[in-house]
């Protein structure tokens, strides 16, 4: 599942769907905020990794709770419409970085860009193990 498919799905949600619990601690809106936080982080990460040929900061930690909590809190006052616009904006910036460097160039460093390449391949192959699919399924289950 690509983020574009995910975003299209979010656009179909009713206002009350955004407050439904998708996990034990996050509602649908929180899950989306979490996804945007990672998308936003990807933009700078792609640039930095390409320039330094060093692994992303999250490759060296095991617990992402602080990052996730910070992002959910940051987007707490955004409306669903604002969240969707924000996600589309950051996705556009991610795609710009991918295009600037070149997909083939990124593929030449699989050890550094595996997280990005996996997401791109998952969306092309409709695999169910991607980060997007994981959270998409949580949201879909919450609103059913």
CATH number for the domain that contains residue 138: 1.20.120
Measured distance CA(21)–CA(95) in Å, rounded: 30
Per-residue confidence band for 4, with pLDDT thresholds at 50, 70 and 90: low
pLDDT tens, residue by residue, 53-63: 999 888 888 78
Residue 40 Cα to chain centre, angstroms: 8
Phi first, then psi, for residue 99 (nearest 5°) are: -65, -40
Residue with structure tokens 């879909």?
Answer: 140
Question: Cβ contacts of residue 124 below 8 Å, gap of 6+?
Answer: none
Q: Helix or strand or coil: residue 88? A: helix
Domain housing 33: 3-143
CB distance 36 to 91 below 8 Å: no
pLDDT tens, residue by residue, 64-102: 899 999 999 999 999 999 999 999 999 999 999 999 999
Measured distance CA(114)–CA(48) in Å, rounded: 15
The whole-number pLDDT of residue 21 equals 97
Q: Name the pTM for this structure.
A: 0.86
Measured distance CA(1)–CA(19) in Å, rounded: 23
The whole-number pLDDT of residue 117 equals 79
Q: Is 54 left (phi over 0), alpha (psi -120 to 50) or beta?
A: beta
Question: What is the count of structural domains for the chain?
Answer: 1
**For residue 133, pLDDT beyond 90:** no
pLDDT tens, residue by residue, 8-50: 999 999 999 999 999 999 999 999 999 999 999 999 999 999 9
The whole-number pLDDT of residue 119 equals 56
Beta-sheet strands, E only, within the chain:
none
Q: CA-CA-CA-CA torsion for 143, 81, 133, 69, nearest 10 degrees?
A: -90
């Amino acid at each position: 599942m690509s983020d574009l498919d995910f975003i299209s799905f979010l656009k179909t949600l009713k206002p009350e769907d955004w407050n439904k619990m998708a996990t034990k601690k996050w509602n649908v809106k929180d899950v989306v905020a979490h996804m945007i936080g990672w998308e936003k982080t990807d933009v700078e990460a792609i640039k930095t990794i390409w320039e330094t040929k060093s692994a992303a900061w999250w490759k060296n930690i095991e617990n992402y709770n602080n990052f996730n909590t910070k992002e959910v809190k940051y987007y707490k006052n955004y409306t669903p419409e604002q969240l969707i616009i924000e996600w589309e904006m950051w996705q556009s910036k991610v795609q710009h970085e991918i295009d600037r460097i070149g997909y083939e160039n990124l593929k030449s460093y699989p050890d550094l860009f595996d997280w990005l390449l996996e997401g791109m391949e998952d969306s092309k192959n409709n695999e169910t193990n991607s980060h997007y699919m994981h959270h998409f399924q949580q949201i879909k289950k919450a609103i059913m």
